[in-house]
Amino acid sequence: MDVLDVALALFGLAFLAALVRVALGPSLADRAVAADVAFITAICAVAVLALKVEAFAFDDVVLIATLLGFVATASLAWLLGKDT
Amino acid sequence: MTIAAYALISFGALLMLLAGIGVLRLPDVFSRMHAGTKAASLGLACVLAGIALVTPDAVARVKLVVAIVFQFLTAPVAAHLIGRAAYRSGVPLFEGTRFDELSGAPDATSRAAKMGG
């Protein structure tokens, strides 16, 4: 039980809280914001896991996921502006 | 070095938890974004910087730094896009909102049209 395990637990809690907001969220914008937070939390968890199991190839996943997260959020915003 | 790295990781993890709680508990889209975008930029940057300090692999360290830089460039842009689209699409504001500084702007006409008023 060290700092990395505690950090993983905190990421898990944050991920669950954001997922609850994705499920509840009254508007599409709420869901987009909450999904963004959940995605960032998952990226952090992958980075911490890569350090914990010393599989540094997973840092590629972190880099690509930050790129993908921006594209996903931008396209959600475009969708939101198009029809609601 | 290890202590600094662990302090950064813990701070970032606490920030992520606060963002999760904020996204769950705050009253409207704009205040939820206020909580969420801090985690997206500062929280992720702290966690990745802490990991980069203790990662022995130099290539992985460079990848983490590039990820931090990219996230710092794109997180505000993404938040701005979502916020503008949310305002234009007529998402209701929190009832305690005191000022709507966009109320005379072109975005507000699109908002009013969407809200049917």
Would the pLDDT of A45 be above 90? Answer: yes
CA angle A28–B28–A16, rounded 5-degree value: 70
Q: What is the pLDDT of residue B99?
A: 77
**A15-49: b (≥16 Cβ within 10 Å) or e:** bebbbebbeebebbbbbbbbbbbbbbbbbbbebbe
When CB atoms are compared, the residue of B17, B23, B54 closest to A13 is B17
| Cβ contact B31:B94 at 8 Å | yes
For helices B2-25 and A28-52, the axis angle rounded to 10 degrees is 160
The model's pTM is 0.89
Chain A contact for B31 (CB, 8 A cutoff): no
Would the pLDDT of A1 be above 70? Answer: no
When CB atoms are compared, the residue of B39, B54, B75 closest to A51 is B54
Domain count, chain A: 1
Share of chain A above pLDDT 90, in %: 65
Looking at per-residue pLDDT, the higher value among A43 and B38 belongs to A43
Would the pLDDT of B65 be above 80? Answer: yes
| Cβ contact B19:B64 at 8 Å | no
Say yes or no for a CB contact (<8 Å) between B47 and A73.
Answer: no
**pLDDT band at residue A38 using 50, 70 and 90 as cut-offs:** very high
Chain B interface disruption, residue of A8, A13, A41, most B CBs within 10 A: A41
CA-based radius of gyration for chain B = 18
CA angle B30–B88–B74, rounded 5-degree value: 60
Residue of B84, B32, B92 whose CA lies nearest to A22: B32
| Cβ contact B36:A21 at 8 Å | no
Chain A contact for B32 (CB, 8 A cutoff): yes
Domain with A27 in it? 3-82
**pLDDT band at residue B103 using 50, 70 and 90 as cut-offs:** confident
Say yes or no for a CB contact (<8 Å) between B36 and A37.
Answer: yes
